């Protein structure tokens, strides 16, 4: 049976077929073509099955988000399917899953390659979204260093002093700094390459969100996460559906005047840290 005879569908590309990314896509995918990219064939099969059995038009592609060529091939694949209207990047590794080198290569450099690649194929009026993290607010980076980051090409980011001398010290620091760099990457793209295509790009920074990936963090550092949740104004964890609502807004027409910015969605954790009602440890 043919569910949709529209032959000129806008394309949504998702890099990282996890629960937050797929939840965002589901909000905006009706009548559009979905392209899922992930390094795990199992993740792709599961996500594609769920989309297809919900009536969505979906294709998949194995993508290694550590490799520039693989990411660029993903962007070209999206472009070959139609007008690329939306790009969402959720690919990443958490602090208790990987060493600093891997986190920085995937969450920082890989994200930069994706922003660069999709900046070449986005449609006029298109929108992109990078899923960063509340941790991007937890390690203050001096303004001069942020300017240095903004002026550094993606392939040179690993050579920066803050990366070699600070981020490499431990996985938690690597993750915090990589996520702040994600926010800066969106700012830079919004003002340069994405601007040239009249496309928008923003980041969202989730707090403690319950996902399958998060369970690895809870198992390794559950007490710290519990303290963070208890100190927040919301006094609870968030859900992928709540992130999806915010993501769909930033990608949609009602956010047409928003680009190069970050939306913090953390239930008040960063507010608690900044006001001293919660002290970050480690």
Residue 280: inside a domain, yes or no?
Answer: no
User: What does the alpha-carbon distance between residue 78 and residue 75 come to, in Å, rounded to a whole number?
Assistant: 5
Q: 3-class SS at 67?
A: coil
Residue 76 has pLDDT above 70, yes or no: yes
From the candidates 86, 113, 175, 278, give the one annotated as an active-site residue. 175
> Looking at 145-154, 209-218, 234-243, which range is the least confident one?
209-218
Residue 20: inside a domain, yes or no?
Answer: yes
Residue 115: inside a domain, yes or no?
Answer: yes
For the segment 3-9, the average pLDDT, to the nearest whole number, is 79
pLDDT for the residue 178:
98
Q: What is the pLDDT of residues 92-114, one digit of tens each?
A: 998 888 999 999 999 999 999 99
User: What does the alpha-carbon distance between residue 260 and residue 258 come to, in Å, rounded to a whole number?
Assistant: 7
Let me know: does 109 contact 154? Beta carbons within 8 Å: yes
For the segment 23-34, the average pLDDT, to the nearest whole number, is 97
Residue 6: inside a domain, yes or no?
Answer: no
Residue 282: inside a domain, yes or no?
Answer: no
Residue 4: inside a domain, yes or no?
Answer: no
Asked if 120 is an active-site residue, the reply is no
Let me know: does 56 contact 44? Beta carbons within 8 Å: no
Q: What is the pLDDT of residues 152-209, one digit of tens each?
A: 999 999 999 999 999 999 999 999 999 999 999 999 999 999 999 999 999 999 999 9
Sign of CA dihedral 185, 279, 276, 236: positive
User: What does the alpha-carbon distance between residue 174 and residue 151 come to, in Å, rounded to a whole number?
Assistant: 20
Count Cα neighbours of 273 within 13 Å in the Cβ-side half-sphere: 18
Mode of pairing for the β-strands spanning 57-62 and 84-89:
unpaired
**DSSP strands (E only) in the chain:** 11-15, 33-38, 57-62, 84-89, 122-131, 200-206, 209-210, 238-239, 262-265
Residue 215 has pLDDT above 90, yes or no: no
Q: What is the pLDDT of residues 241-251, one digit of tens each?
A: 999 999 999 99
Question: 234: which DSSP letter?
Answer: S
**Residue 267 domain boundaries:** 11-275
| Two tokens, residue 257 | 């005047």
Give the domain CATH number at 166.
3.40.50.720
Confidence of residue 73 (pLDDT cuts 50, 70, 90): very high
Asked if 225 is an active-site residue, the reply is no
User: What does the alpha-carbon distance between residue 1 and residue 55 come to, in Å, rounded to a whole number?
Assistant: 11
Residue 3: inside a domain, yes or no?
Answer: no
Let me know: does 183 contact 132? Beta carbons within 8 Å: yes
From the candidates 33, 68, 85, 179, give the one annotated as an active-site residue. 179
For the segment 69-84, the average pLDDT, to the nearest whole number, is 98
Sign of CA dihedral 128, 131, 137, 139: negative
- Total structural domains in the chain? 1
The candidate with the shortest Cα–Cα distance to 47, out of 22, 77, 20, 71, is 22
For the segment 269-275, the average pLDDT, to the nearest whole number, is 95
Q: What is the pLDDT of residues 219-241, one digit of tens each?
A: 766 688 899 899 999 999 999 99
pLDDT for the residue 282:
57
Residue 50: inside a domain, yes or no?
Answer: yes
pLDDT for the residue 220:
67
Let me know: does 17 contact 47? Beta carbons within 8 Å: yes
Confidence of residue 145 (pLDDT cuts 50, 70, 90): very high
Mean of all residue pLDDT scores within the chain: 94
pTM of the model: 0.95
The candidate with the shortest Cα–Cα distance to 10, out of 29, 25, 23, is 29
């Amino acid at each position: 049976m043919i569910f949709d005879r529209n032959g000129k569908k806008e394309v949504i590309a998702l890099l990282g077929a996890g629960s937050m990314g797929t939840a965002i896509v589901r909000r905006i995918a009706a009548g559009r073509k979905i392209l899922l990219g992930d390094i795990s064939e199992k993740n792709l099969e599961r996500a594609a099955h769920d989309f297809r059995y919900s009536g969505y038009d979906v294709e998949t592609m194995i993508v290694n988000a550590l490799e520039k060529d693989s990411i660029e091939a993903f962007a070209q694949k999206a472009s070959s399917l139609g007008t690329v209207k939306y790009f969402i990047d959720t690919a990443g590794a958490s602090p208790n899953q990987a060493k600093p080198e891997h986190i920085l290569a995937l969450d920082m450099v890989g994200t930069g390659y994706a922003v660069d690649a999709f900046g070449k194929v986005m449609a006029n009026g298109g929108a992109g979204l990078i899923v960063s993290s509340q941790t991007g607010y937890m390690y203050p980076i001096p303004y001069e260093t942020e300017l240095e980051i903004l002026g550094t090409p993606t392939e040179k980011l690993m050579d920066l002093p803050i990366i070699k001398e600070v981020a490499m010290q431990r996985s938690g620091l690597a993750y915090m700094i990589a996520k702040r760099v994600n926010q800066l990457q969106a700012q830079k793209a919004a003002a340069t390459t994405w601007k040239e295509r009249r496309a928008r790009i923003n980041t969202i920074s989730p707090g403690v969100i319950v996902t399958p990936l998060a369970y690895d963090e809870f198992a390794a550092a559950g007490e710290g996460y519990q303290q963070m949740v208890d100190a927040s104004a919301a006094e609870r964890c968030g859900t992928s559906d709540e992130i999806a609502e915010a993501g769909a807004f930033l990608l949609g027409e009602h956010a047409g005047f928003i680009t190069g910015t970050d939306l913090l969605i953390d239930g008040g954790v960063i507010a608690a840290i900044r006001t001293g009602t919660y002290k970050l440890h480690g």
